[in-house]
Structure 1
Amino acid sequence: MLRTVTIERLSRVGQWLPRDVYFWAKALILAAIAIQLARLAWAIATPLGPVGDWRPAQARAMAPAAQAALIAGFDPFGRGASPDDAVTSVTDLDIALFGVRENISAGTGSAIIAGPDGIQKSIGVGEEILPGVRLSAVAFDYIVIERGGRKEKLFLDQSTPAEVVVDAAAGPNAASDVPAASSGGISAAEARAGIALAPRSEGGRVTGLALSPQGDGKIFAAAGFRPGDIVTAINGRRITSPADLAALSGQIIPGARLSITVERGAETVPVALNLSGNP
């Protein structure tokens, strides 16, 4: 019924139009229908998108050099670069760091710090440690303090050797050869006698001081060193010449507090060498 009505209306319209115009109008409509049918047939035969022969992007493997650089810059313990990495000087204040609590998401944290009186306190970022000395930032194994507009680092003391567990079956005298830890540290004379230093050269220039034990090695271990350690910096100053060997020897004096950066295999370890006041 609808088709009959539509044809009748078209016939009436055709009566009002000149014969040639009506003919060409029907031709255009038929041509448009033919074009659409051809496009439909082409889409069915070759199902391509509007941009042609599109294919998904293939995964590309990184070059070995790029992979090595990426792995070298990744730290699974979250010790990434921080805004205070440019701070190279180590503080000479009579304070000691015993623990840190870093809040990476909030950019805050706190630290357990002992002052000259030896009393440990929990200090938050922004709080005052000593008069004129403020805790600026907390990192994985060190803190940044600010005094007089200058920033300095204070590392965790890792020079104390780990407690030795003695097997009960070995007898009560099994631990007799283990040196007892002293609250005052080793003396300057013991450090000179038990620790040997030698420059390490790479490419014709000095890049560190090689450490080796002397004697029975007890003093060497008590200082927090291991055979094969390389000193690369002392109190934030890098080792670059043989003169630094004499400079380090001159700093081994009673009561000295040295912050030593040690290259241990593929790691960099801070060691705090605190000498007792005894000669």
Structure 2
Amino acid sequence: MSGSAVRLPRALPAWLRPRRKSPRALAPLLLAGLLGFLLVWQAVRLVWALIVPLSPLGAWQPQAAVIASPAERRALFASFDPFFRTGGQGAANATVTALGLTLYGINLNEATGGGSAIIAGEDGVQSSYAVGDEIAPGVKLAGVAFDHVLLDRGGARESLFLDQSGEAAVAAPATPLPAPTPEVGAAPATGGELSPAALKAGVGFAPRTEDGRVTGVTVQSQGDGAAFRAAGLRPGDVIRGVNGRPIGSAGDAAALAGQLTPGARLSLEVERGASVVPIAIFVSK
């Protein structure tokens, strides 16, 4: 072998050289590794929750129910008024008012717990007042009961009872009782033919005011009550409309008595408690 030297290539071929990856090529690999780590972490947490079903603060216990004693339950139900009757009726106050007022009639509405009353002042003029209306300066109607009303006089409660000083009327045995008045939707009840004098003498009219506005005419029995019953009326009835026209002013209320003329036919819309009934009255000639 001659003494000539072996010649090596100066550089490796391109296919043998190591390739350098750019940062853009490494980004997908890093993202895939991060997502894989999060997936493994969530799987570990799920397995841990299944194996140890307790919160980090310990075992959860529901709050024990508190049961009131029998005495507490009685006191609770005694203070509950589901029909709102205590506010409207109330017990009679020990203090009887010294005002010159006279109570003639009461319209107790048990459905709403309110009502109205017919009260006359010292001048003898009767007017209808709803609960909350001012009867005199500084005096308001605070509540209505079956035989008295409660007055609010400057924050003090006083009672005013029905005027029962007169003798009770004795019903004639021969007078038949009127037929029951039908409710809403039924045919109007007919009071028969009554003379104008009998109607004016046997039926009293007083305007009913609510929030300072006339909303009807309250009727009350006068004399022996025969004409009142024959007309199909009952104590506490309130006439809200005549011949399809509602009563909404003092003039409408005053004109009602003037319509009781010979030969008149009146179709009345009467408020009776929580219902409204129609009544027809024929005035004889």
TM-score range, shorter chain: 0.3 to 0.5
Q: Return the index of the structure with the highest Cα Rg.
A: 2
User: Given the two structures, how large is their TM-score scaled by the length of structure 1?
Assistant: 0.37
Greater helix share, 1 or 2? 1
